[in-house]
Chain A
C-alpha cells in the first residue's frame, strides 16, 4: 500500500510535516502527476486530501505483552467511520531485548512497508507503534504485532459496531401484533434495513408497499419493526442490518407465533385443580359438621327440631331450653 511514491505517497499515514519535507525533497512520478510544476499541482490536491483526513478522529489502543502471557492477547477496536488508528504493542521482558524483533501482520499476512511503524526500546520494554488511516472496509480485520521467535503476539480486532437484538426468541400470538427491536449502543448507523428468511435466502422487507410492516425508530441508534395481523407462517428469522461508512453488521431476531390454545391448556389444568380442591374442602367441611352434630344428638339437634316445630305448628311444647346463643351469627 505504501510502496508507491508520488500522489499515492500523500495518502500515506499522516505526519503532514514529514510529507511536506518528502515532497520538497523528491520529485513526483511524472506518469501519475500533472505534467506542469509538480509542487504547484500537488499542493491543492494534497491540501484537499489533508483537509479530508485532518478532521478524522484518532483511535488509539494499547496491548501489553509479557513473556508469561498467553500466546495471543486480543483487543477489540470498534470503528464506525474513517479515522486515524494508532495501535501500540508494549513488550516487557526480563531478558535481553537486543535480539528481539517485532513484525506486524494483517490477518496473518505480514505487512511489508515500514512507514507508520515506530519501534522504541526503553530499559526492558520494547514499544512498537503502528499508525494508519482506515477509510474503507477492506482495511478492517485483525492486526497483530508479533514478537520474537516464540511468536508472542497481541491482536487488534478492528471491526464495525455490532447491532444487538433480543437473544431469546420473541413469542407472539396469531392475530396479534409484535415489535422486533435492534439497538446499536454508542454508535450511529447511516441506515437500517430489515430482512426476513434464513442465512442463505434473505428477503428484504419493504415497509412502504406492505401495510403489514412498519419500520420506525425513536433514535437513530435503534430500529423497530412492527408486524401486524400475525399468522403462523410469519414465524422465523428476521435480520436487522446496520450500515456504516466502513461496512455493515447484522443481527438475528427469532419470532415464534403461537395460537391462543397453547397457554389455555395450563390455565384449564389449574382451573380443574381449583374446582376439585374447593369441592373437596367444602364436602369435607359438611361431612365434619355432620359427624360432629350427630353424636351430640341432644341439645342442638333437639333444638333444631323444636325451632322447626315452633315455626311450623305453633304448638306450645314444654320447651325447657330457649333458643341458645349458639345461634350465633356474625
Chain B
C-alpha cells in the first residue's frame, strides 16, 4: 500500500479544511461531553422502571465519565496506530452499540455494562484524537479553533437537554436511547472528516526518525514467518512507544500533569454543589436553576471569546500565562464563594466562574501543544485527560463528605479553591524557574574554553532560531533542545 496518499504540507494551514476539522471536533464534543451530561436526564425514568434509588442510577454517569477519561490514552494509541479517521469511526460504532444495547436492557447491571463501559470506551476513542487533530491544522488561530471546538459541550448540553426530554416523552427511555444511539453514530461522520496531515515538524528531525522508520520498513517487508519478526515487532513497539511517549519525561510536562490533577480536583464539585449551596443560603429553586443556566451559557461565551483573545498578537506568546491566570481566578472565585449568601451576589460569581472555566478549558490543549509539540499532541492529550479522570471521580464525594461532617459548604469550597490556586501557582513557579535557568545560561560565554563556546554558540543560535520560529508558533520540542544543551 502506498503511503503517499497523505497530504504533505509545510505548515499548519490555519484555515481551509481546518475549519471542517473544527466543525468535526465541535460535533465530537457535542456527541461525547454533551450526551454524557444528558444521560442524567434518564435517571428518573430508570429509578421508576428498575425501582432503584438515585445513587444506584447515578453510577451510570460516573462510569461513562470515568471510562471516557481513563481510556483517553487508549484512544490516542489507537488513532496513532491506525489512523485518526479509523480510530474515531471505531469509537463512534462502539458508543452507538452501547446505546442500542442499553435500549434493550432488563436490569441496571446491563446498563452499567452497555451504557457505561461500552459507550464510555467509544467516547474515549473519539475525544482526544479529535482535539489533537485541531491542533495539527491550526497554529496562528489555534486558540480560537479550540474555543469553537470546545464550546460544543456547552452548546450541546443546551440544545440536547430539551431534545432528550422530548424524546423520552414521545418514545419512553428505550426508544430515546435507541434514537440517541443513532445520533451518536454521527461520530463516524466526524471521523471521516479528520483527514490526516503531516507537518514540517514531522520531518524536522529526519535522522532520528529515519533510523526508526527504516527499521519499521525492514520489519514490514519481512515475511510473517521469518525469525526477524519477533525482534522487529519488539523493537518497533519500543521505538514507537519511546517516540510517542517521550514527552512524559519532560519536566515541563510533569509540572503540567501535576497542576492538571489539582485543577481537575477543584473544578468539578461546583457543578454538583452550586444548586444545593444556593438553596441552603435561601435562594429559590427557580433562581438556583437560573444560576446553573448562566454558568452554562457564559461557559460557551468564555470558550470562544477567550480563544479569540489569546490569538491576538499581543497575547499569543502569553497563552501559558493566560491559562494560569484563568485557573487562578477560578480558584479565587471559589475562595470568595462562602461569603456570597444572596442571589444578587451569586449571579456575578456564576458569570465570572463560568467565563474563566470556559477559558481554561479552551487553553488546555493549546498549552499542552506548546509543551510537547504537535507530533505527540494526541498522546499527550490522552494522558492529560486521563489525569482528569481520578479527580473527577474523587472530588465530588470528598466535597460531599466535608459538607456532611462540617455542616456547611465552606470547607469544601475552600479546599477546591486552594487546589486550583495551588495548581496555577505551581505553573507560575515552574515558568519563573525556567526563565531564571535560561537567563543564567549565557554566563558561561565568558569562559575561553572552545567547547563551551561551541555550546554557547549553539545555545545562542538556538535562541535566535526560536525567536524566528515564534512567528510560526512552532518551536522545536524542548526535549531535543534540552539534549543538545546538556
Contact = CB atoms under 8 A, between A and B. Distances in A.
Interface of A: 168, 170-173, 176, 178-179, 181, 258, 262-264, 266-267, 269-271, 274, 277-278, 281-282, 285, 289, 292-293, 300, 303-304, 307, 325-330
B185 A327 contact: no
Given A292-B7, A304-B2, A327-B4, A263 B175 contact: yes
A267 B210 CA distance: 48
Contacts of B410: none
B235 interface: no
Nearest to A179: B48
Nearest to A216: B51
B185 A270 contact: yes
A328 B198 contact: yes
Contact of B8 (A173, A176, A271, A328): A328
Interface string B167-209: 0011110111011011101101101110110100011001001
B3 to A, nearest CB: 5
Contacts of A264: 178
A300 B171 contact: no
Interface of B: 2-8, 48-49, 51, 80, 83, 89, 169-172, 174-176, 178-179, 181-183, 185-186, 188-189, 191-193, 195-196, 198, 202-203, 206, 209-210, 213, 216
B4 A326 contact: yes
B175 A171 contact: yes
Given A267-B178, A325-B206, A274 B171 contact: no
A274 B188 contact: yes
B393 to A, nearest CB: 30
Nearest to B8: A326
Contacts of A325: 203, 206, 209-210
A173 B172 CA distance: 9
A176 B174 contact: yes
A270 B183 contact: yes
Given A176-B174, A262-B171, A266-B179, 10 more contacts: A168-B169, A179-B48, A262-B175, A263-B174, A263-B179, A271-B182, A274-B188, A281-B189, A327-B3, A330-B80
B182 A267 contact: yes
A115 B135 CA distance: 87
Kindly list the 7 A-B residue pairs having the minimum CB-CB distance in the complex, ordered from nearest. Answer: A263-B175, A270-B182, A171-B172, A281-B192, A267-B182, A263-B171, A277-B189
B203 A328 contact: yes
Contacts of B48: 179, 181
B75 to A, nearest CB: 15
Contact of A328 (B6, B178, B189): B6
A57 B209 CA distance: 89
Contact of B192 (A179, A271, A277): A277
Nearest to A268: B182
A173 B174 CA distance: 9
B41 to A, nearest CB: 15
Contacts of B210: 325
Contacts of A274: 182, 185-186, 188-189
Nearest to B175: A263
A303 B4 contact: yes
A172 B4 contact: no
B23 to A, nearest CB: 11
A292 B6 CA distance: 11
Nearest to B220: A329
Contacts of B51: 179
A171 B171 contact: yes
Nearest to A169: B169
B210 to A, nearest CB: 7
Given A326-B8, A328-B198, A328-B203, A271 B185 contact: yes
21 contacts: A176-B174, A179-B48, A179-B51, A258-B172, A262-B175, A263-B171, A263-B175, A266-B179, A267-B181, A269-B182, A270-B185, A270-B186, A274-B182, A274-B188, A278-B191, A282-B192, A289-B5, A327-B4, A328-B3, A328-B203, A329-B3
A125 B334 CA distance: 53
Contacts of A179: 48-49, 51
Contacts of B193: 281
A178 B6 CA distance: 54
Nearest to B378: A330
Nearest to B83: A330
Contacts of A269: 182
A171 B170 contact: yes
